[in-house]
Amino acid sequence: MTICGIDFGTSNSALAVVADGNVQLVRVDEDSQTMPSAIFYHEDGTAVYGRGAIASFTSGDSGRFMRSFKRTLGTELLEYGAIINGKLKKYDQIIAGFIRHLKLRAESSLGIDLDNVVMGRPVHFVDNNTEADRCAQNQLEKIARLVGFKHIEFQFEPIAAAFAHEQKVIGEKITLVVDIGGGTSDFTIIRLSEASVHKLDRKEDILSCVGGRVGGNDFDRDFCLRSFMPILGYGTTYGTKGMEVPISPFFDMSEWSKINSLYVPKVLKNLREIYIDSHSQKTFGRFVRAVEERAGHKVLSTVESAKIDLTDKYEIQEKLEFLEDGLEIILTRDGFEQTIMHHIETIGKWIDNCLREASVAEEHIQLVILTGGTTEIPLLQKIVKDRFPHADISGSDKLSSVGLGLGYDGARRFRSSLNSIVSI
Ligand SMILES: Nc1ncnc2c1ncn2[C@@H]1O[C@H](COP(=O)(O)OP(=O)(O)OP(=O)(O)O)[C@@H](O)[C@H]1O
Ligand SMILES: [Mg+2]
């Protein structure tokens, strides 16, 4: 019996295997234990994944780059699919291609076939829609079966992160997990203890689970719209009536899963017509050029890396030479924080709900686990530290703790013997 856990993330994925009684993350992408959830479809029909996909895209190869496809689960986009090299490919096939690749990489590096899996899932794939949520999990289960898994179980991502950290817990700790990734924010309050590590039934320890569809992708979108799109003509006017240029193309360029929808002839024709009557041809012309040159992913990658640079710096200068010689933009951490403040408030409310559902008072939280790449944001860390001043804060392995925890969960659920534990 071979067992693994898969964290299929919006931005990064990981796979942990249970082998020889140990749980360990597998090097699935070059030397790395995480793989960017990215695919590049070359025009000759071949596909490359993870860092290879990013390299193909960055070096300007012809083809189609895709990210954030997890976000289509449970939405109508899954059914519509995307046109890739002239052919319609549904998103379930796209996701299956990615998960199959992850599985094959792990199998070839381990020399075994994997047939049992615990897949991670967010607390909610879709907000306030139980049916869409159920549907998303069913779609993911079908995909896992399609790629060859025989037994498939699911676990909430923040609970998995808690299981990974539990390996290091001494005594018993009432723990809050704050897992903010690329697509969703997920929270749990759970009782962790060294004595529970092998316990099969954890229902009594899980005090609450809360979550919603806010993640780093939403921060990128809002930062892009507020700080980058205005210099590409967002909010400018055209024509004799002085109408505002349509906003939807700017929104599409700001959302990873929608950028490709800009690259259809109808959209470009429409943008060129507006350009003729534009009152701000210099700025709007940059947007038209970005669409003509299919530079949308490059724009949004620049936004994301600016966001990441503002983790360490208070002010940065971001060059947009690929759009226009000498074009650059000054960005500040203050500006970024203002842009994301409404999301931070939503996250605060979810933490309230999580405490309320668990009937646990703030001061009784002994450990806070910060996981998911978005929890690198200094403002988020400060808010959590200010709110739980008495708790220990653990922020290690932000991109891999969910994957590792799914491995531990798999070991327990599939009743494999865990002789020794590999700590994270
Ligand atoms: N230093 C940083 N500052 C701000 N954001 C960051 C930083 N590092 C990574 N991120 C963001 O973290 C997100 C990726 O985190 P992670 O890999 O945990 O997500 P994921 O697990 O793939 O997504 P999800 O769990 O929501 O499906 C991206 O939006 C990325 O831009
Ligand atoms: Mg995640």
Query: Is the pLDDT confidence value at 414 over 90?
Result: no
User: Predicted confidence band at 306 (pLDDT cuts at 50, 70, 90)?
Assistant: very high
pLDDT > 70 fraction of the chain, expressed in percent and rounded: 98
Q: Within a domain: residue 18?
A: no
Q: Is residue 147 part of a domain?
A: no
User: Do 232 and 215 touch, CB atoms closer than 8 A?
Assistant: no
Half-sphere exposure of 363 (CA within 13 A, CB side): 0
pLDDT at 323 > cutoff 70: yes
pLDDT value at residue 198: 85
Confirm whether 399 is domain-assigned: no
Q: Is 120 in the pocket of ligand 1 (CB under 6 A)?
A: no
DSSP character for 262? G
Ligand 2 centroid vs 397 CA: distance in angstroms?
11
Establish whether residue 373 lines the binding site of ligand 1, counting it when its CB lies within 6 angstroms of any ligand atom. Answer: yes
Is the Cβ atom of 70 under 6 angstroms away from ligand 1? yes
The lowest-confidence range among 71-85, 107-121, 168-182, 192-206 is 71-85
Residue 424 has pLDDT above 80, yes or no: no
Residue 53: pLDDT band by 50, 70, 90 thresholds? very high
- For residue 419, pLDDT over 70 is answered with no
Using most ligand atoms within 8 A of CB, pick from 218, 223, 308, 400 the residue to mutate for ligand 1: 308
| Ligand 1 contact via 225 beta carbon (within 6 Å) | no
211 lines ligand 1 (CB under 6 A): no
Of the CA atoms within 13 Å of residue 13, those in its CB half-sphere come to 31
> Has residue 149 got a pLDDT over 90?
yes
Residue 34 CA: nearest ligand 1 atom is: 17
Answer yes or no: is 419 within a domain: no
> Using a 6 Å cutoff on CB, does residue 180 contact ligand 1?
no
Q: CA 371 to CA 59: how far, in whole Å?
A: 31
Is the shortest distance between the CB of 182 and ligand 1 below 6 Å? yes
Mean pLDDT of 405-411: 96
Average model confidence (pLDDT) for the chain? 94
Across the range 220-235, mean pLDDT stands at: 98
Domain assignment present for 103: no
C-alpha 177, offset from chain centre = 17
Residue in 6, 301, 307, 370 to alter for ligand 1 test, most ligand atoms within 8 A of Cβ: 307
Nearest CA to 204 out of 9, 358, 84, 418 is that of 358
Q: Is the CB of 48 under 6 A from ligand 1?
A: no
Say yes or no to pLDDT of 86 above 90. no
398 and 371 Cβ atoms separated by less than 8 Å: yes
Report which ligand 1 atom has the smallest distance to the Cα of 184. 26
- Helix (H) / strand (E) element for 106: namely helix 91-110
**Predicted confidence band of residue 77 (pLDDT cuts 50, 70, 90):** confident
User: Does the residue 262 lie in any domain?
Assistant: yes
Q: What is the mean pLDDT of residues 84-98?
A: 93
Residue range 161-198, pLDDT digits in tens: 999 999 999 999 999 999 999 999 999 999 999 999 98
Residue 393 has pLDDT above 50, yes or no: yes
pLDDT of residue 82: 85
Residue 264: give the domain boundaries: 216-338
Average pLDDT estimate for 6-35: 94
Number of domains composing the chain: 1
Judge whether 259 lies within some domain: yes
Residue 43 has pLDDT above 70, yes or no: yes
The rounded Å distance from CA 317 to ligand 2 centre is: 29
What's residue 246's pLDDT?
Answer: 97
Give the torsion through C-alpha atoms of 315, 320, 326, 330, to 10 deg: -20
Q: Is residue 295 part of a domain?
A: yes
